[in-house]
Structure 1
C-alpha cells in the first residue's frame, strides 16, 4: 500500500450534519429500493438514491420514471439536519457491500459530499447535484382494489409465465376475478403461457398489464411472506405494499385488445 503521507487527504467536512443509522436498517432500505435507480445517464439526477431526512425519518427513494421504490426509516435528528441529498449509484452499490446486520453507520453530510463511517471503513462520495423530481405526485392517493398475494408463489408464477413474454411487447397480463388471478403472456408464433393463483381478492373483474421484470424486481428484494397490490384501473399505476412503510409504484402497459 501507499505510505501514509502519500495518501490523498480526506475531504474536510466543515459543519457537517451527522446522523446515526442502524446498519441493518440502511442495508434493508437500500436493498428494497436501489433496483429502481435509473441507468439513463441523460437523467443524471435519477442515477442514485434520494436520501430525504425529514420529520424524524429518513425516506429512501429510487425511480427511473416508469417505476418508483420508496421506504421510510424511523430516526431521531434535529430539525437543522433536515436535508434532501442524492447519493450516486456507485456509492450505493459500495455501501450495500459494506453494510452488515450489526452496529451503526455514522452519516456525515457536508457541502456536496457525504461520508459513511462504518467503524473500520470510511466511504466518502460526491453527491449528485440537482433537484430530485417531486416523487410524491406519482403515488396514487387511494386504491379501488386490493389483492393480497403470497410473495414467493406470485414471484415464481411470474418467473415461469414471463419466459413467454415477447421481446417486442415485453408485458405480462394479470386478469383478476373473485379470489383468483390469472397471469398470461404470449409470443406470436410461439404460444401462450398461463397460470392461475388463488388469492384474497373480492373486487371487480379486470385486467392490467405490466413489464414482468419491473414487477418481479421488488418481489425478489422483499423478504416478507405477504404483499399487497393496490390498483385503481387498467390505466393507473399499481402500488405494491407490505406491512411496514414501503411502497413500489409501477406504471401499467397498454393492453392490446
Structure 2
C-alpha cells in the first residue's frame, strides 16, 4: 500500500510558520539588545553626572528606633556609626521630574535614581528618560510617600540578565556577598533627607502580594507581617525588628515563577 504524499501546500504552511517564528524570535533578540544598549548608555551618563558624596552624621543625632538593649549580637549599633550618602537632585530632577530618591545596595550594581508615578506599570516598560524600553527602571510603589514613609515602602525593578536594574539583587544569595557584613545595609538619599537601612531578611518566593502590603490597620497585623517576612529569610542577620520600624522592601523577578525579596529597616536618618 502506497503512503499518501503530504500535499505541497502543507509543507508551504509549515515553512511559512517556521519563518514567522524565527523572524519573531530574531526581532525580540534585536529589541532586547537595543534596550540593553540604551539602558547601559543612560547608566553611564548618570554615573558621570550624578554627584554622590559621603556625609558624616553623628549616630546619637540621627539614629532611628534604637533597640532597648545595646547588645553585641545586634549589628544595629555598628551600622549607625556609618556615614550616609548624599545625592544632588538638581540634575536628576531636570532629567526626570518623577525622581524621588537614589538607592545604593552594597555588593550589587544597584546604584540608581528611583522614580515614582501614579501607575506601577509605567516604569516596567519605560526607562529613566521616559522612552519606551522593556528594561524599565527602578520605581517606588505608587501607594508610598517617600517623605512621610509608610510602614512598608516597596521599590521594584526588573531582574535583567545583564545585571542592570535589579538583576544583581540575586548576589545576596552568594557566599561572597553574605560573608561581607558591610553589605547588610542600604543607602537611600532623597531631596529632603539621607538615610541608612539595615537588612533583616532576604528570600525567594512564588509570586504573591502579601509582602508588598504597604500599610496595616492594626499593630497586631503589622507585627504578624514582620514576624512572617523575617521568618522567611534564607540568611541569618543579627537584626531585630518591631512595629515601630519603617521597612524598605526591594522586589524583583528571580525566574518566571519566583521573586527575590529583600527587607530592611530604617536605622538612621538625617534631614537635609
TM-score by length of 1: 0.25
Task: Select the structure that is richer in strand.
Answer: 1
